[in-house]
Amino acid sequence: MTEDPRNYALLIEFDGGCFFGYQSQKQSPTVQEEIEKALDILLKKQTRIWGAGRTDTGVHARGMIVNFKTDSPISNLSKFLLGMNALTDRGLAIHEITEVPLNFNSQFSCTAREYEYLLVNARFPRPVWKNRAFWYQHRIDVSRLREELELLKGEHDFRSLAKATSMRNRRTTTRVIYDASLIESEEEPGLLRLRIKANGFLHNMVRILTGTLFEIAIEKRKETNILKILSSKDRTIAGITLPPYGLYFLKAYYDSFPQIDRMYQNRKEFGGVPR
């Protein structure tokens, strides 16, 4: 028995260390493959998903949106959600499901994405942060970090902060940074959260950006600032690419689809995505 096609959005969280990135690839476990495998079983037909971000191997997600369309009936969304979680890897959790308009696409309808990079600035790191945050034992100039993050806001050409080999055939390297901030954790001394919200990101952009800001903040690049590096349009002028395990996809934004905001709000109320 089939029905008219319906469109559903999922709010997911995953441990990047359990997968070889988001996008399906041969002979390696991925987030997309894991979700589609569960959907195929529950819906009894091959089902494709679209994701708000295509994260690399090792990158985590606290609140990514994916969607799928189906003409198979789903009579009880709560039971369906339980079934999804029972069929997926323990490194992946599906927290919310909601029906959305047919014209919604988690990738192409997205108007902004927000990432977070975790730095631990402490003499000795807690084991819990291994493969969860980048550790540095010497002084980080937090005030300088905040100054550089303020400079980032607005529209810039990010060619110098993207993986060089990914620049071929790219129409534009200009992106708009809506917000860039540094949060010092009150519960975890030394834990720094660098958050960047933009209308889009180039390949490895957040990891290169945070690596460059990190080098400025430890005074490895005392004579420059992020605007000078951006204006150079030269990847060799920028800093290191920080490892993927400190990076988290935090949230996807959709101006025309309030159903997605409600999913995030539900997750927040039940102790989920931190804001």
Annotated binding residues for substrate, written as ranges, equal 115
Closest CA to 94 of 57, 67, 113: 67
Closest CA to 34 of 53, 14, 17, 56: 14
Binding-site residue numbers are 115
Q: Is residue 170 a contact partner of residue 200, using CB atoms and an 8 Å limit?
A: no
Closest CA to 38 of 2, 3, 88: 88
Q: What residues does 95 pair with on adjacent strands?
A: none
Closest CA to 47 of 12, 14, 7, 85: 7
Q: Is 56 a catalytic residue?
A: yes
Cα-based torsion angle of the residue sequence 147, 151, 157, 158 in order, rounded to the nearest 10 degrees: 20
**Alpha-helix residue ranges (DSSP H) falling in 51-104:** 77-87
Helix-helix angle 142-152:205-217, to 10 degrees: 140
**Catalytic pick from 4, 15, 40, 56?**
56
The CA distance from 94 to 250, in Å, is: 15
The CA distance from 252 to 54, in Å, is: 12
Active site members: 56
